[in-house]
Structure formats: C-alpha cells, structure tokens
C-alpha cells in the first residue's frame, strides 16, 4: 500500500514505523513494511511569470482564518473536567539524521498544544509496548497510544484512555480526512485544502513546539502536500512550480491567488 499523507508542520507520515519494522524483522505482521512516507518538505522554487493576458484573481484567503487550522480538526474528545481536546497530526522540521522520530499526534486544548511522538507511542503487543500520559487539566492523566493491530497501515488507530476506559479512537485515514476538512478549500486545477502553519521545532531538550517560521501548505485530494514558505510570497505576484498557471501574493492579511 503506497498511499501517503504528508502534512507539513502540519505533515503526516509513518516512516518511524517503517524503520522500527526494519529493526525488528521477523517479529512483525507481514505488511508492516508498507509503512513508508514521501515527505514533500521543501520550499517550491519560484518560476518567472508568463507573459500575456492580465492575471485574474481566483481566490482570496484570510491568513488569520488559515493559521494552524490543522490543529482544530473535528476529531475531538472532552475530559472529565469539560476541556475540549482537538486531535491531529504534525511533523517536526528540525530533525537532523533522525526524521523517523519527528512525527507527532497533537492534542489542542483552548490553552495549549500537547504532542505525542508517533514512534514512542506505537504499540504492538509482545513486540513493543508504547504509550504516553498526557495531563490536560485537573481531571488527571490520559494515556495515548498508537495501536498497530491492522495489516492495513492507514487503518491503525490512535487510542486515548482514561483509567482504562477508551475516550477516543481514530484511524490514520480518519485523521487524514479530518485534517483536510479543516483547511480552506481552493481549486487550482484540482481541489486543495490550504493552511498557514507554524513549523514544529524541538527545543534543546527535544520537546516539540510551534516555531516562528510559517509556511503555506496545500493538501490535495490524495492527502499529498506542497509547501510554500511564507517568506517566499511577497506583495508581488509570484508563480510556483507545483501549479505554474497560478501566481500568489500576500496583501492586507490575505493570500491572493491569480490565474
């Protein structure tokens, strides 16, 4: 199965589990090695604008409305104290030689974002015990784990429990669809969900958090993503390699797309 999800800073991938499978050959289900990723974590090269007719404005998207919306999917649960938690996925971008461990499930409350490393919480009975305790509020710890029970990689599930009782469960397919649904929809030859995201980076102790660098992420219907750094888009129209018939500009707090 080669279906891939790549949500940059808000990217989705499972290469961590592929590496784990390599290190545990012979101990894992036969299709486990199908966890692979193609992380399109690159800034698109700007192209010269085509000469000819006047470009027409086709979309105008508020930067504020797009900002880190991937964190606010409709996959949620509520703690015993009434705190709403939105669940999503993302990727850290400052990983050097250790990208396999750079993928995280995210848990967004009204006051904070919590991260659980996908590699560390991967759970396969007998082979690997994984999980992480998360404290969202005064209601106590919740345990998150990534259950690897299915031979179909995208059907494996993130599970959250409280005192042994399940409060949340969603497959990778479910989370991928929810992320795409959370974005601003725009049609550029094909339909994309668009986000403006802060890169996820790790501090000196390895703890992930939202950094200051921002980028646009365009997620297509197959859940593949294309990244354009915000710094590469000026107030003047610039076209990019992934959709050369279109040009982009940032003006007055909006991303403007022209054709």
The torsion angles phi and psi of 16, rounded to 5 degrees, stand at -55, -40
In this prediction, residues 217-241 reach a mean pLDDT of 77
Q: b/e for 96-108, b at 16 or more Cβ within 10 A?
A: eeebbbbbbbbbb
Question: Residue 54 pLDDT more than 50?
Answer: yes
Please state which of the ranges 58-62, 106-110, 118-122 shows the lowest mean pLDDT: 118-122
Arithmetic mean of pLDDT over the chain: 76
pLDDT tens sequence across 40-49: 333 455 555 5
pLDDT-derived band at 153 (thresholds 50, 70, 90) equals confident
Instruction: Provide the 3-class DSSP secondary structure of residue 175.
Output: helix
pLDDT tens sequence across 171-198: 988 988 898 899 999 998 889 899 998 8
pLDDT value for 37 = 34
Residues facing residue 249 across a β-bridge: 256
pLDDT-derived band at 113 (thresholds 50, 70, 90) equals very high
Cβ atoms < 10 Å from Cβ of 165: 6
| Closest by Cα among 57, 22, 65, 15 to 36 | 15
pTM of the model: 0.78
Please state which of the ranges 99-103, 148-152, 179-183 shows the lowest mean pLDDT: 99-103
pLDDT value for 71 = 94
What are the strands, taking DSSP E only, across 137-176? Answer: 141-147, 157-162, 165-171
Which one is predicted more confidently, 179 or 21?
179
HEC per residue, 16-79: HHHHHHHHCCCCCCCCHHHCCCCCCCCECCEECCCCCCCCCEEEEEEHHHHECHHHCCCCEEEC
User: CA dihedral in degrees (25, 152, 154, 191; nearest 10)?
Assistant: 130
* H helical segments located in the chain: 15-23, 63-66, 118-121, 172-182
Give the pair of three-digit tokens for residue 257. Answer: 């797309």
Q: What angle do CA 188, 189, 192 make, to 5 degrees?
A: 50
Domain ranges of the chain: 68-175
Give residue 144's Cα distance to chain centre. Answer: 17
Give the pair of three-digit tokens for residue 258. Answer: 């022209």
Which one is predicted more confidently, 72 or 38?
72
Which one is predicted more confidently, 135 or 51?
135
pLDDT value for 95 = 53
In this prediction, residues 103-124 reach a mean pLDDT of 90
In this prediction, residues 30-50 reach a mean pLDDT of 41
Question: Residue 156 pLDDT more than 90?
Answer: no
pLDDT-derived band at 30 (thresholds 50, 70, 90) equals very low
Which one is predicted more confidently, 240 or 217?
217
pLDDT-derived band at 244 (thresholds 50, 70, 90) equals low
């Amino acid at each position: 199965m080669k279906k891939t999800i790549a949500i940059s800073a808000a990217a989705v991938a499972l290469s961590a589990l592929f590496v784990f499978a390599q290190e545990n050959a012979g101990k894992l289900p036969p299709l486990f090695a199908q966890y692979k990723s193609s992380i399109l974590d690159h800034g698109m090269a700007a192209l010269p604008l085509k000469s000819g007719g006047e470009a027409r404005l086709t979309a105008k998207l508020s930067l504020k409305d797009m900002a880190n919306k991937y964190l606010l999917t409709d996959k949620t649960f509520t703690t015993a104290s009434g705190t709403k938690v939105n669940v999503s996925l993302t990727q850290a971008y400052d990983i050097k030689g250790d990208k396999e461990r750079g993928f995280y499930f995210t848990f967004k409350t009204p006051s904070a974002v919590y991260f659980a490393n996908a590699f560390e919480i991967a759970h396969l009975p007998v082979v690997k015990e994984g999980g992480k305790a998360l404290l969202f509020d005064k209601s106590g710890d919740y345990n998150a784990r990534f259950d690897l029970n299915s031979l179909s990689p995208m059907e494996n599930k993130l599970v959250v429990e409280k005192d042994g009782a399940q409060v949340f469960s969603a497959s990778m397919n479910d989370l991928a669809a929810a992320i795409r649904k959370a974005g601003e929809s725009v049609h550029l030859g094909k339909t994309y969900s668009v986000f403006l995201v802060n890169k996820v980076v790790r501090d000196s102790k390895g703890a992930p958090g939202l950094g200051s660098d921002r980028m646009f992420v365009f997620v297509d219907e197959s859940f593949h993503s294309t990244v354009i750094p915000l710094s590469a888009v000026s107030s003047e129209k610039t076209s990019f390699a992934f959709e050369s018939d279109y040009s982009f500009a940032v003006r007055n707090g909006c991303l403007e797309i022209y054709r």
